[in-house]
Amino acid sequence: MPNKAQREHCQQPRPDWVPEDAGPGFATWVLEGVNPSGVTRSVGAPPKRRTLSIDDYVDGIKRRDTAILARAITLVESNAPAHQELGQELLARIMPMTGAAMRVGITGIPGVGKSTFIEALGSRLCDKGRRVAVLAVDPSSSVTGGSILGDKMRMEKLSRHIGAFIRPSPSAGSLGGVARKSREAMLLCEAAGYDVVIVETVGVGQNEVTVRSMVDCFVVLMIAGAGDEVQGMKKGVIELADLIVVNKADGENKIRAMAARAEMARVLHYLKAATEGWPTPALLASAMSGEGISDVWKSVEEFFRTSRQAGVLDQRRRSQAIAWMHSLVNEALLHDFYENAAVKAHQPEVEREVADGKTPALAAARRLLAFGEGVHPDAAVEADED
Ligand code: GDP
């Protein structure tokens, strides 16, 4: 039976969230202090997302709010000029909160076991109270039309872990564009208190070099019997590695994995180490059974201790930041040049001349550059002759 207060409340005008034909059993009264609009929100269309201010983003990231972090990453990934401006402002604001994480890159050919490995490693770290962010750099979608890393539901178990944050690769674009977004996402994750940031990439094309240039420690996963060519050994990927892990060292494959590891150790002996003062070790692991995973992590920690003490880590980060700035300058110059109206207009004809063998490549390049500078090439030639 409703009490007196409730009966009186029912006699008040019908709130707009109550159906017209609501009978006496319909709960048209609301407890004091409860927001009726909050009650109706759970049904029907989801509430419209509020636009966040820079302060909202910064506060959310400080509070380690993963929903805000995810939105902040979306903001820096956006190609819309207004978003880019806001994104850069946000990055400048969070900069003092970055830099404390261990930045670890992981690469390997498709099927080598990257996601299984990261899931096993990430879960262990989270169980020990660490906060782990996993980012992917996968520009393959722009080349092959399909993403190598993103097609399947990956790292399901880890994604349910309270201490983990998993972000798939920014969508299709040039490697440079994808890398920029991932670097910025990495900074946002660090500001949000993730103390290990794993950047995963597929071992194809130039991806490894790009990821190497944004992390402290670079781990290359391999498997026995996949062939040197396939695993990028001829491309020099081994020379980028701070740690080689021969994965799938289990069951019948264990003996072959042990032989592959020994061979790797022999090869590494003759190569210059990727990090000064840290001879790259080759280890065995089974991402599936978990065997060897903690030894891999011990080695990663040892790497950080050694290179931090020697000042190599600090030096690496400084030169990475400078190189990144220069690559952004290059990117911007190239973009401006190819977007220039005169260049756009003359590019097909200059390309045709080079293809037909009528103009040497260098002369054609100079011609195009002159258009980019707003000088008509013929005028440039005359000026040269003066
Ligand atoms: P990715 O493409 O490099 O991310 O590879 P996945 O993690 O998706 O693994 C590819 C396949 O190898 C899957 O079927 C995994 O179950 C399997 N796999 C991954 N790690 C191991 C391992 O340590 N041992 C064995 N036997 N299989 C593994």
pLDDT at 284: 97
**How does the average pLDDT of the chain come out, rounded?**
82
pLDDT at 4: 55
The preferred substitution site among 109, 116, 156, 289 for testing ligand 1, maximizing ligand atoms within 8 Å of CB, is 116
Return d(Cα 200, Cα 183) in angstroms, integer. Answer: 12
Check whether 184 has a pLDDT greater than 70: yes
CA of 116 to the centre of ligand 1 (A): 6
Nearest of 108, 140, 114 to residue 226 by alpha carbon: 108
Return d(Cα 205, Cα 143) in angstroms, integer. Answer: 10
Return d(Cα 326, Cα 146) in angstroms, integer. Answer: 30
Residue owning the nearest CA to atom 7 of ligand 1:
113
Average pLDDT on 15-40 reads 47
Higher pLDDT, 55 or 31: 55
Average pLDDT on 170-195 reads 85
Residue 344 neighbours by CB under 8 Å, 6+ apart: 338
Return d(Cα 150, Cα 138) in angstroms, integer. Answer: 8
The end-to-end CA distance of the chain, in Å, is: 104
pLDDT at 170: 76
Average pLDDT on 251-274 reads 91
pLDDT at 42: 42
For residue 201 and ligand 1, the question of a CB distance below 6 A is answered with: no
Higher pLDDT, 151 or 287: 287
* pLDDT tens readout for residues 340-357: 999 999 999 999 999 999
Return d(Cα 367, Cα 352) in angstroms, integer. Answer: 13
Minimum-distance ligand 1 atom for the alpha carbon of 289: 23
Q: Which long-range contacts (CB under 8 A, 24 or more apart) does 276-280 make?
A: 276/310, 276/312, 277/306, 277/307, 277/310, 277/312, 278/242, 278/303, 278/306, 278/307, 278/312, 280/238, 280/241, 280/242, 280/243, 280/244
Give the position of tokens 């509070």. Answer: 63
Are 76 and 90 contacting, i.e. CB atoms less than 8 angstroms apart? yes
pTM, rounded to two decimals: 0.80
* pLDDT tens readout for residues 286-327: 999 999 999 999 999 999 999 999 999 999 999 999 998 998
Topology of domain 97-310, CATH: Rossmann fold (3.40.50)
| 255 Rama sector, left if φ>0, alpha if ψ -120 to 50, beta otherwise | alpha
Check whether 259 has a pLDDT greater than 70: yes
Check whether 148 has a pLDDT greater than 80: no
Domain boundaries, the chain: 97-310, 340-385
